[in-house]
Amino acid sequence: MKNKILTFGFFVLLLILFSSSVFAEVEIKMNIQESFGLGETVSFDYTLTSDKSEKIQYLASANCPNVPMPLLDLREVDLVKEVPLKESYTFLDINENIEPQKCNASVTIISPYNNSITKEFLISTVPSFIFNVLINKKSFIKGEEINFSYQSNIDSLLIKAVLTYPDERKKEIKFPGEVKAEQIGSYSLEISASKEGYKTATEKVIFGVIEKPAEIKDAPFVGNITKDIDGNNNPWIIWLVSLIVILLILLLIYLKIRKKS
């Protein structure tokens, strides 16, 4: 019984010594605001405090699902027992192109042991929405109807559409809707779609109107090798083609005779 008690006490003593010398505790504290808005910089402060002097390697980072991850910055520091190491980490400047999302900030010790802290924060910006302009084609014949519509992932949009004619005249049109191709030339349609609580979406569509379909004539040697560019029979071309055919036949005969001999 006495030996068991001594063995257990020795084991506990070893565990205490082993834990205090190897598994030293590093307290990690992080200070980060709950949300960041347009024009703000996502950053946070943190403090590392160890109960013994030691060298550690750690990472400070932030992660957002719709923001590219920066390169990992592995840091190595010498901690002094009970002396806090105060540092800061800067992640991102928020501009109008960044969508609202939920993110995480963390500080992770990776050597000589593992320890970490993670906190959640929000990027609070105005969301965008899908808005695609649809047009039945990009080239029209004078007098045709031109139809416009759109695709979006939200409804009840306030839409303004301005059509610019080839003569530079501008006209606000109903959208979705249709117009008649009255003038020959290039048109442009500028559309803005908005809804409260979302970013305004803008699109520009360019299309053209022609008098009538283009007439395409067969090029010489393509549609008919014996016709000239006006479509008339050309005796010189016929003679040249015949001569080439005869020469090819003579060449084949010569090669065949030479092969036999």
Question: Among the three residues 71, 103, 124, which one is the final residue of a domain in this structure?
Answer: 124
Q: Is 194 in the same domain as 243? A: no
Q: Is 151 in the same domain as 109? A: no
Q: Is 60 in the same domain as 84? A: yes
Question: Among the three residues 210, 228, 253, which one is the final residue of a domain in this structure?
Answer: 210
For residue 44, give its domain range. Answer: 2-124
Domain count, the chain: 3
**pLDDT digit string, tens, across residues 171-206:** 999 999 999 998 999 999 999 999 999 999 999 999
| HEC-encoded secondary structure of 129-195 | CCEEEEECCCEEECCCEEEEEEEECCCCCEEEEEEECCCCCEEEECCCEEEECCCCEEEEEEEEEEC
The mean pLDDT value for 240-256 works out to 79
- C-alpha distances (whole Å) from 56 to each of 24, 51, 59, 88 are 11, 13, 10, 17
Confidence of residue 244 (pLDDT cuts 50, 70, 90): confident
Q: Is 248 in the same domain as 190? A: no
**pLDDT digit string, tens, across residues 72-121:** 889 999 999 999 999 999 999 999 999 999 999 999 999 998 999 999 99
Q: Is 41 in the same domain as 147? A: no
What are the residues facing 187 on neighbouring strands? 207
Q: Is 20 in the same domain as 98? A: yes
Give the residue, 169 or 250, on which the prediction is more confident: 169
Cα 174 to chain centroid, rounded: 32
CATH number (domain holding residue 96): 2.60.40.10
**Are the C-beta atoms of residues 178 and 145 closer than 8 Å to each other?**
yes
Question: Any idea of the CA torsion for 110, 115, 117, 118, to the nearest 10 degrees?
Answer: 60
For residue 5, pLDDT beyond 70? no
Q: What is the pLDDT of residue 214?
A: 63
Question: Among the three residues 81, 105, 124, which one is the final residue of a domain in this structure?
Answer: 124
Q: Is 36 in the same domain as 106? A: yes
